[in-house]
Amino acid sequence: MKKIDWYILKKFLTTFFFAIFLFAIISVVVDVSEKTDDFVKSQLSFGQIITKYYFGFIPHIIALLFPLFVFIAVIFFTSKMAGKSEIIAILASGTSYQRWLRPYWVGGSILMVILWFANHNIVPRANQIRGNFEAKYIDANNSYNNLVASSSNIYLRVDSFTYAGIYSYDTLTKRGGPLFLYKVKGDKVVENTRADVIFWDTATKKWNIQSLVNRKMSPLKEDVVMEGTRVMNFNFKPYDLSRDKYTKDKLTSPELERFIKLEELRGSEGLNELKVERYRRDATCVTVLLLTLIGAIVAGRKVRGGSGVHLAVGFSIAALFIITDRFSTIFSTKGNLPPIIAAWIPNLIFVFVVIYLYRKAPK
């Protein structure tokens, strides 16, 4: 890394973080103006609103537009450099075009790693904070959310031989019932368990069932056991029982992978949507690097019109990327397109865009 590399890298990172910081402030101001009445009705203090809502809202909105602001930042400061003939001077000094792009590679890789870590760990936790606040204080009277909070007739496959059903379950109190468990061997039920109540013990992180009757059947006899309470170590957790279609956004990647395996075991529909979300958490990070290179190549050429032309071209490319991403997602969730292809196909297409722009760029 030479002085010119640090010069470009510093401009890159300072422009990006300033832009994202400014956008976060604007987003909070707009959001506060929309939710002022809800905040007043919640009767929470200023500190509670910050910790219970905006600690989740700000990471969510930043991650949502992270690649776009990387793209805008690159185009903005690179266009300024091109307008001042700084890039022409760099190339005229004998520096190759590929060598000039090195700090963009470094800066894009740094931001790519930051977004990758955030997508897998920080943003899901932030979505959980934001979602819980909205469900409790903003959407409490919404009929859809009331439906989500109380799920009924939940059927799932516990393991290869055991099936379970819960007739009613409250996701807020993590309590439900009645419950039934069937253990099957071949085409016969060999064990039947029924309980009046099932609830999640937050201390032991296990399920407790109460007032249960367990029957074990054999060809010659039937053993019946009645218990007041039994601790069960099921392979599902409270969030697995919620019927919230946004649950996938609240799960960290290890939790999401476990949830996908559980849904596959259940034979549930809509698995492609979950898988696309998992693969996109990696694909979006690579998008940051691709948009960095596209922005540098597009804005690195000095043209009449300056930054305005560069921004117009940049937004056109960004719009094309978003359209491609939306179409691929729809084809996967509503059709038969493999989820991994749906998540990565926009990046695969824009790899060729980068190659084309690189070859056509004046060097």
The pLDDT tens digits for 281-331 are 999 899 999 999 988 888 887 766 566 677 777 777 777 877 887 778 888
Report the amino acid identity of residue 74. V
Whether 6 shows a pLDDT value over 80: the answer reads: yes
Confidence label for 224 from pLDDT (cuts 50, 70 and 90) = confident
Residue 280, in any domain of the structure: yes
Within this chain, do residues 221 and 293 fall inside the same structural domain, yes or no?
A: no
- The pLDDT value recorded for residue 105 is 92
What average pLDDT does the chain have? 83
Within this chain, do residues 28 and 129 fall inside the same structural domain, yes or no?
A: yes
From CA 56, how far away is CA 193, in angstroms rounded? 41
On whether the CB atoms of residues 199 and 179 are closer than 8 A, the answer is no
Find the range with the poorest average confidence among 164-168, 215-219, 235-239: 235-239
The pLDDT tens digits for 17-55 are 998 999 889 999 998 888 888 888 888 888 888 888 889
- The pLDDT value recorded for residue 307 is 63
Within this chain, do residues 136 and 280 fall inside the same structural domain, yes or no?
A: yes
Find residue 188's DSSP bridge partners: 185
From CA 161, how far away is CA 182, in angstroms rounded? 8
Within this chain, do residues 129 and 188 fall inside the same structural domain, yes or no?
A: no
Within this chain, do residues 164 and 135 fall inside the same structural domain, yes or no?
A: no
Within this chain, do residues 19 and 47 fall inside the same structural domain, yes or no?
A: yes
Residue 340, in any domain of the structure: yes
On whether the CB atoms of residues 350 and 295 are closer than 8 A, the answer is no
Whether 150 shows a pLDDT value over 60: the answer reads: no
Within this chain, do residues 303 and 353 fall inside the same structural domain, yes or no?
A: yes
Within this chain, do residues 192 and 94 fall inside the same structural domain, yes or no?
A: no
Within this chain, do residues 133 and 8 fall inside the same structural domain, yes or no?
A: yes
The pLDDT tens digits for 268-277 are 666 888 888 8
Q: Which domain holds residue 354?
A: 3-140+272-360
Within this chain, do residues 205 and 285 fall inside the same structural domain, yes or no?
A: no
191-199's contacts with Cβ under 8 Å and 24+ in sequence apart are 191/215, 191/216, 191/217, 192/217, 195/230, 198/166, 198/169, 199/173, 199/174, 199/175
Is the model more confident about 197 or about 131?
A: 197
Last residue of a domain, one of 208, 234, 260: 234
- The pLDDT value recorded for residue 148 is 45
Last residue of a domain, one of 207, 234, 261: 234
Residue 154, in any domain of the structure: no
What is the pTM (predicted TM-score) of this model?
Answer: 0.73
Residue 210, in any domain of the structure: yes
- The pLDDT value recorded for residue 115 is 93
Within this chain, do residues 132 and 167 fall inside the same structural domain, yes or no?
A: no
Last residue of a domain, one of 234, 259, 291: 234
Residue 96, in any domain of the structure: yes
Mean pLDDT to the nearest integer, 183-189: 83
Residue 330, in any domain of the structure: yes
- The pLDDT value recorded for residue 107 is 92
Residue 265, in any domain of the structure: no
Within this chain, do residues 94 and 35 fall inside the same structural domain, yes or no?
A: yes
Residue 153, in any domain of the structure: no
Structural domain total, the chain: 2
On whether the CB atoms of residues 62 and 132 are closer than 8 A, the answer is no
